[in-house]
A and B are shown apart, each in its own frame.
Chain A
Amino acid sequence: MTDARDGTQPPGDLTGLAERQAALVATLVAGGPPPPGFAPAQLAATRAALLRKRAGEVARHWPLLAAGLGAGWTTTFAGWAARRPTAGSLRDGWDLARALHDRHALPPAAAEELAVREARLRYDGLSAPRPRRLPAVGRAGGAVAAQIAGRVRLLRPAPRPSTVPPVGDDGPPDTAGSASWISD
């Protein structure tokens, strides 16, 4: 559908509006510079409101991730997401879970949730996750999940704080600072 065919506006007539809308979205969700003339306090309030809303939506897709971070969830998510435009709630939560996992900061229940997702879906971090056709194993933070013919089982739970040994070569133990690394 083109403007010319509709007979409404010649193409290009709305270019200025398109650029200004793009600049507003970029400053709100991608760390872009504030467009001239906008009130900084209004932009800040809008950014914060968008992040709160997004955190709530991701929490619905990743309940154990959000619950595992507890009171730190919104702050952790907002700190991670402030300059990252959304890729949809499923991928946002997945990317954050992987980032926390890389820093040994993924709570055990969230590690199990991630392992189950990794076993069920193939996600390259760049495009929409797709169901795996072949049997697969998902691992995260000591949790192991297996998928056969679309059915996923958690084979091994993630170790809980009382039993967990230090994880990784140089990272802090799984239990420490799960929400603090990003909320500076």
Chain B
Amino acid sequence: MTGPSGVGIGWRPEIAGFVAELPGLRFVEVVAEAVPATGPLPPGLAQLRERAVTVVPHGVRLSLGGAEPVDPARVAHLATVAQRVDAPLVSEHIAFVRAGGLEAGHLLPLPRSRQAVDAVCANVARAQAELPVPLALEPIAALVDWPDDELDEADFLTEILDRTGALLLLDVANVHANARNRGADPLALLDRLPLERVAYAHVAGGAEHGGFYHDTHTDPVPTAVLDLVGALCARQRPPALLLERDGHYPPAAELRAELDALATAAGFPAVT
């Protein structure tokens, strides 16, 4: 198990053939909930493991930021998947996805309050106690802000990372989206985050829609996000950068060009 390095891509069944043919690829991420706990691994994923490509399970439904304790069965599944793919680490979000018996169907932001910090730290501790490998936490892109935030984004994230000892999964597109939608400066946030704790970074595409920038993962990566990748790498280059694409898959040549653009922006070797 080698840590994430260089340019990677989110493995999805729809692009498994494309991913399998990337000659320089050393790192993929897989949605943890999409990997079964028993039975064969998805075929393309098993082949990547045979090539010793690093696979990082990425949980999306743990709801670590929920006020209620994280579901032990979901943590156990993430731990099992980590072992199945011999992962060096796993990742999840600083977010909640369900409350009051209802599923939101997506990652929702926490209030940036002391109480929310307590809630997420308690759940991260519960998860860490059961996981066989380190956990990296990803701040999300939010379209909605809570009305009574006590902490700013940097203090909120830093306090959670300090108290849990977790690594940071920094999503550059989320930094762009939040800054754009809040009228804030993304570079000011980069300057205040503990960049030495970044295990790897996400990059994804998005689109303007109804006055908001949406982190869709189904559109091309905008120039502004690539520029922010450059700004991040100028401060502290993360060990790896991962392109997330979750639908409206473009022709292979376009996807290769996006991976190449990422490599260029970060000064990593091309994987295509």
Contact = CB atoms under 8 A, between A and B. Distances in A.
Contacts of B143: 42, 45-46, 49
A9 B118 contact: yes
Contacts of B147: 36-38
Given A24-B99, A48-B210, A53-B106, A8 B148 contact: no
B43 interface: no
B126 A6 contact: yes
Interface residues of A, number: 41
Contacts of A1: 69, 72, 126
Interface stretch (A26-34, A126-134, A161-169): A26-34
Contacts of B212: 45
**A contacts with B: majority SS:** helix
A29 B105 CA distance: 9
- Which of A2, A41, A46, A56 neighbours the largest number of chain B CB atoms within 10 Å of its CB? A46
B105 A54 contact: yes
Contacts of B211: 41, 45
Interface stretch (A10-18, A93-101, A103-111, A152-160): A10-18
B102 to A, nearest CB: 5
Majority SS at the chain B contact face: mixed
B100 A21 contact: yes
A87 B247 CA distance: 22
Contacts of B144: 24, 38-39, 42-43, 45-46
A22 B105 contact: no
A19 B66 CA distance: 11
B122 A17 contact: no
Contacts of B105: 29, 50, 53-54, 57, 86
A70 B119 CA distance: 43
A3 interface: yes
B106 A3 contact: no
Interface in A122-176: none
B119 A17 contact: yes
B100 A26 contact: yes
A82 interface: no
Contact of A50 (B72, B106, B116, B125): B106
A177 interface: no
Contact of B111 (A20, A28, A42, A56): A20
Contacts of A25: 98-100, 102-104, 108
A157 to B, nearest CB: 28
A53 to B, nearest CB: 6
11 contacts: A3-B69, A6-B126, A8-B125, A13-B115, A15-B67, A16-B115, A18-B67, A28-B108, A38-B147, A45-B143, A45-B210
Given A15-B67, A42-B144, A54-B105, 15 more contacts: A2-B69, A8-B122, A9-B122, A13-B115, A13-B118, A14-B67, A21-B99, A25-B99, A25-B103, A29-B103, A38-B146, A43-B144, A50-B104, A50-B106, A53-B106
